[in-house]
Amino acid sequence: MSLLYFTSFLPVSRLTKRGFTFATTAIGLLCSIVSHAGVSLSDSSVVSLLTVSPGEPLYAAFGHTGIRVRDDSLGLDVVFNYGTFDDTQEGFYINFVKGKMLYSVTVEDFNNFLWQYRDYEKRRVIEQVLSFSHKDRQEIFNFLFENVQPENSKYYYDFFWDNCATRPRDVIEKVLGKRLVYNDSALPSGYTMRQMLHLYVRNRPWVAFGFDLILGLPCEVPATPRNQTFLPERLSVMFDHAHLDGRPLVSQKNVLVNLPELDLKPGLLTPLNCAVFFLIITLVITLYEIWRNVHLRWLDVSLFMIYGLLGVFFLCMWAFTTHYSVPKNLNVLWLLPTHTIAAVLMAGRHFNVVLGAYMILTAVISVLILIFWKFIPQPFHVAVIPLLLIIAMRALSVYRFCKSKQ
């Protein structure tokens, strides 16, 4: 489950998704670009930022960014895309879990880019023509051309700090230097990086739940205006209010694909509703045990094993990966990895004093988390409340059974 949610961090473009058409077009374009190496762009050339709105697939939930370079006199109209990955590469999923996802910048024909989002994915596309001088456009093009070479094209992706939006931003900042001035008031303040994610998944409750489970304390850093530009739409807003040499950075804004914003309906099967349902079922089962003076051992074996294995997974992500956002995950305070040992003991019918003491400790920890909920530096998802009540209730049930065996 967690891996599924975490794949929402993948940017919009996949090398394998467009198939043969994309591959052949890209190869032809690369040859075309190579033929223009060292050739100056004309005075009529244009460099613009393309911003694609969020889409329905999970990998498209945060939008996409590309840099368009157009020069009609050279027959050139291409998009440089820093969000390309190939899920057929050897060790792709292992590298993903380890936090060493390899991405690359690729170049594609503008019409192919537009077709994908207009006709295939049905997503809005905005173009911001940037008020670069001829020298600026040439330097940007040279930088992008150098970047797209096979020996330079790959980079290790990080969702917050190095992605398909931050790379175009960094290219433009590197070329323009201090001549580019942002207006920080263009974007709101007071958010954390985690809260910025929630703005984009508020109608995807299971994705939000997954984020809150797998993301740790590093996501609680302030989302400064510049930090927010890891999100393509935020980068677009920042550019709208930026200035270059005292004049607006964006000279013209075009709606290339005008489609309505995505409107997702969460439905009734939200994490909170499901957790409350399981809490009610657990309460009924626990009352039944008290009434019949029995213990449904395999219920607790399964429950503690699931909680424990999740804790082990999050602990391993903390200790053995290079992902920025997953270490120091305080969800291990209630998803205790030691629950797996308790599950094994219960499966072997070892209902002894030690297991009973552990169950009391589990219940106390759950209650303390609920009491100090608002003071915990990492916010937990609201669905964790019934999940804490479930594990506390079953821990007390196991303790009661342990006492009866003494």
336 & 361 share domain: yes
Instruction: Kindly state whether residues 277 and 242 are assigned to the same domain.
Output: no
Torsion sign over Cα 317, 59, 85, 106:
negative
pLDDT, averaged in runs of 10, over the chain (406 residues): 34 40 48 60 95 87 94 94 77 59 90 92 95 95 92 88 94 95 92 92 91 92 94 96 96 93 84 97 95 92 97 88 84 96 94 94 97 95 97 95 82
Number of domains the chain is built from: 2
Do 142 and 291 fall within a single domain? no
| Strand ordering across the sheet containing 247-248 | 180-181, 243-244, 247-248
Q: Which residues pair with 254 in a beta bridge?
A: 127
219 belongs to a structural domain: no
* Residue 113 CB neighbour total at 10 angstroms: 25
Contact between 396 and 363 under an 8 Å Cβ cutoff? The reply is yes
217 located within any domain: no
Q: Is the dihedral of CA 158, 163, 167, 169 positive or negative?
A: negative
Residue 86: count of CB within 10 angstroms of its CB: 12
Q: Is residue 165 part of a domain?
A: yes
Same structural domain, 252 and 276:
no
- One domain for residues 7 and 119: yes
Q: Are 68 and 88 in contact (CB under 8 A)?
A: no
Same domain flag for 230 and 348: no
Residue at 204 is within a domain: no
CA dihedral angle for residue 169, residue 173, residue 175, residue 180, rounded to 10 degrees? 130
Cα gap 20→302, rounded to integer Å: 46
Domain boundary, last residue among 233, 257, 281: 257
Answer whether residue 161 is part of any domain: yes
Do 65 and 167 share a domain, yes or no? yes
Predicted local confidence at residue 87, as pLDDT: 67
In this structure, the answer to whether residues 236 and 300 fall within a common structural domain is: no
Closest C-alpha to 47, from 121, 112, 135 = 135
Q: Are residues 130 and 56 part of one domain? A: yes
Same domain, 159 and 181: yes
Query: Same domain, yes or no, for 275 and 247?
Result: no
Are the C-beta atoms of 109 and 32 separated by less than 8 Å? no
pLDDT score of 18? 41
- 289 with 323, same domain? yes
Whether 30 maps to a domain, the answer reads yes
Predicted model pTM: 0.84
In a domain, residue 202? The reply is: no
Domain extent at residue 233: 2-189+224-257
Burial track 324-355 (b if 16+ CB lie within 10 A, e otherwise): bbbbebbbbbbbbbebbebbebbeeeebeeeb
